[in-house]
Amino acid sequence: MDAIPIPQPGTTFLSYAATPTPVTTSRQGDSLTVRQAGAATLTLRLDAAEGRLALTGPAGSGDAARRGLSAAIEAAFGWHPELERLVLDLGDGTAQLADALRRRGIAVETAAAPLTVLPELFMQQAELWHGRPDLPAFPQRQVMTDGKRHPQRPPKPQGTVYARWIPWLEQPLSFRAATVEEDLGHLHKWMNDPRVAAFWNEDGDLEKHRRYLSGLIADPHMVPLIASFDGTPFAYFEIYWARENRLAPFYDVQDYDRGWHVVVGEDAYRGRGYISAWLPSLTHYMLLDDSRTQRIVGEPAAAHHQQVRNLETSGYARIKNFDFPHKRAALVMLLRERFFFDRLWLPAAAAQPVAAR
């Protein structure tokens, strides 16, 4: 893994960025201060060498205490990605908070300590990054669409679906559901970029792109997204349920497999530092969106060797080549277990820009 630049003491880390009430953690030396609206300030001490996070003031109670502590944990792992685990020292009078952490899997009991935070479990806490973590998993009911049997899908998301502070860029990355009103201009510009058109073959006039985006928004198995760094749109994503997709006949598809296509439309955001943020974050979003999703798949052009190498670097395994009517494709796949247990939300070595779908 490439060395990851660590923000200097005194910088601020933003958590719960996809919610109307984000939480900030600031650092001065080994002292952390967590601030959130409507809650008392939380103070902690981080011993990164020992992998220990200790409360140094009252924790408060209820959801506010858990949110504040979770924000401090995210900041600690973000500033110190070398940490394999984090031991919590909550002091006296925090039994209720400790119980809440264990019940949610934020902390577990290990030989090292009664409360140990493991990154592979912590990064599955959807409430920190997902736009609607309050929604339970959509109930399962099998339906038929165009001769394909699949689970009924939840209603399309609206607004921000995911946001995450990127410590090596020191800015937030966010994904939101695309709309015709806000995003037709972005899509039209990007699809007519010669670099994008060479792979997508979707260049054309404004009305063509209006029909294209409107059709995807209406399609229950597709979710078009706009990605932004610090509020600036730079890319267009399409995520899909693989069971209903054209990819399904070419492999042993499972009900909650998801896949994606991408256009990075702004040249300023094609560098390694950016792809190391948005690609694992896109995977992270799909895995958080439904805990039943065990595999993320893709089908880049087999001849697009750089893109396939980029995906392999990011943890995707190349399964096989196969023929679509319009292209020879490579089937790539990433397992949920590998993403979380190999900590693939962190930058991979030698990552390069992914150009197109």
Told to judge if 238 belongs to the known catalytic residues of this protein, a careful annotator would answer no
Residues 306-324 have pLDDT tens digits of 788 888 888 999 999 999 8
Record the pTM: 0.93
Single out the residue of 26, 87, 94 nearest to residue 51, CA to CA: 87
Asked whether the beta carbons of 252 and 286 are under 8 A apart, the reply is no
Average pLDDT, the chain: 92
Asked whether the beta carbons of 174 and 129 are under 8 A apart, the reply is no
pLDDT of residue 306: 78
pLDDT of residue 353: 40
Q: Annotated catalytic residue: which of 74, 127, 244, 299? A: 299
State the sign of the Cα–Cα–Cα–Cα dihedral 102, 105, 110, 115: negative
Residues 63-120 have pLDDT tens digits of 999 999 999 999 999 999 999 999 999 998 889 999 999 999 999 999 989 999 999 9
| 65-77 exposure pattern, b = at least 16 Cβ within 10 A, e = fewer | bbbbbbbbbbbbb
Residues 246-305 have pLDDT tens digits of 999 999 999 999 999 999 999 999 888 899 999 999 999 999 999 999 999 999 888 878
How far is Cα 82 from Cα 165, in angstroms, rounded to an integer? 17
CA distances from 94 to 54, 66, 112, 247 (A): 12, 11, 19, 50
